[in-house]
Amino acid sequence: MGLASAASVSYIMFVITRTLTGTALAGFTIIVMPLELEWLDVGHRTVAGVLSSTFWTGGVMLLALVGWVPESARWLLTQGRVEEAHRYLLCCARLNGRPVGEDSLSLEALRKVAAAERVVRRPSYLDLFRTPRLRRISLCCMMVWFGVNFSYYGLSLDISGLGLNVYQTQLLFGAVELPAKLLVYLSVRHAGRRLTQAGTLLGTALTLGFRLLVPTEKAYWSTALAVTGKGFSEAAFTTAYLFTSELYPTVLRQTGMGLTALVGRLGGSLAPLVALLDGVWLSLPKLTYGGIALLAACTALLLPETRKAQLPETIQDVEGKSLQEEQMPMKQVHD
């Protein structure tokens, strides 16, 4: 669709192809992170999540490799496709240099897992709001994603008064993303996901607020603050993908990511319209971007911490029921 939009012969064709391009991109971005996290243990999720986001910054050249990524064994078990999950798990063990015999990872053990995790009905968006903890997680994540997207694109569009042309600004805004991802990697490992998400959003809000205090003749200070804010905003974006993927259970992970990404894109769509408010009051756009980022930072503090936590498999896991009550033998085959 991207190539078709470049070859558009009319405005109508361009609008249609660009819409389909965005649709395809939205679907791709909410699939990669959950698929990756469901294949990794607690100790490797952080570095893998941040590393994937770094490659996003470098481009989408690795898109073709998705064709060689196996389906998630966790998801296959929830669908009752035990033989496929068994085959992929054995292949994974061989690739990791840890041969596993048929006895130690038998079909019988996996069938018990599948029987406990099998979804009776296909989950829907309504399941994100049926139970108390999932409802709170969904509402908070929607607010966080709205704030992340809204402030990110607001900062990207608000380049007035920086004293640089559009190309120099783009270079600086792109270069600051790499150290921002390094900051996320270190922070989520030591401070946790929740504080990192809230802290990066707070940093975004503060830089927007400080820019209001900088005199127009000191463009270099405004530029430094804008670049710093862009770094915090990118860090918030990276954390949001990792954090949200760990909050939802396997049976609803794609659904939850899809809903939050949808709300986030709504925030990104509204950001350019808010920039037009400078005609009412010059500082109003920055106040709006910063205020929403601050509200999202406070909302992130209401979410549960997921650092060093196992990925939840079912809605019952999220709601706090014990594994004994749900007869979940996943721990038996975890290693």
The residue extents of the domains of the chain are: 1-68, 73-119, 128-314
243 within 8 A of 194, measured Cβ to Cβ: yes
Per-residue pLDDT tens digits of the chain, which is 335 residues long: 888 888 888 899 999 999 998 888 877 777 877 888 888 888 788 888 778 777 777 664 555 555 667 788 888 887 788 888 888 888 888 888 887 765 667 888 888 777 766 644 567 788 899 899 999 999 999 999 999 999 999 888 876 656 677 777 778 888 888 899 999 999 999 999 999 999 999 999 999 999 888 887 777 888 889 899 999 999 999 999 999 999 999 889 989 998 999 999 999 999 999 988 888 888 899 999 999 999 999 999 999 999 888 889 888 889 874 333 344 444 444 44
300 within 8 A of 201, measured Cβ to Cβ: yes
Indicate the SS3 state at residue 12: helix
Find all residues with CB under 8 Å of 131, minimum gap 6, and list them: 315, 318, 319
Q: How far apart are CA 251 and CA 263, in angstroms?
A: 20
Q: How far apart are CA 119 and CA 192, in angstroms?
A: 31
250 within 8 A of 38, measured Cβ to Cβ: yes
Name the class of domain 128-314.
mainly alpha
Vertex 238: Cα angle to 234 and 244 (nearest 5): 135
User: Rounded to whole angstroms, what are the CA distances from 327 to 72, 159, 273, 314?
Assistant: 22, 56, 51, 12
Predicted pLDDT at 116 = 66
Q: Which tokens belong to 102?
A: 């048929």
205 within 8 A of 265, measured Cβ to Cβ: no
- Cα radius of gyration rounded to whole Å, the chain: 22
Q: Where are the alpha helices (DSSP H) in 38-164?
A: 42-58, 73-78, 82-95, 107-117, 132-157
User: Rounded to whole angstroms, what are the CA distances from 193 to 164, 196, 300?
Assistant: 35, 5, 9
Per-residue three-class SS string for 248-293: CCHHHHHHHHHHHHHHHHHHHHHHHHHHHHHHCCCCHHHHHHHHHH
User: Rounded to whole angstroms, what are the CA distances from 287 to 211, 232, 276, 293?
Assistant: 10, 17, 13, 10
Vertex 147: Cα angle to 312 and 135 (nearest 5): 35
If 0-12 CB within 10 Å is exposed, 13-18 middle and 19+ buried, where does residue 293 land?
Answer: buried
Find all residues with CB under 8 Å of 162, minimum gap 6, and list them: 169, 219, 222, 223, 226
267 within 8 A of 157, measured Cβ to Cβ: no
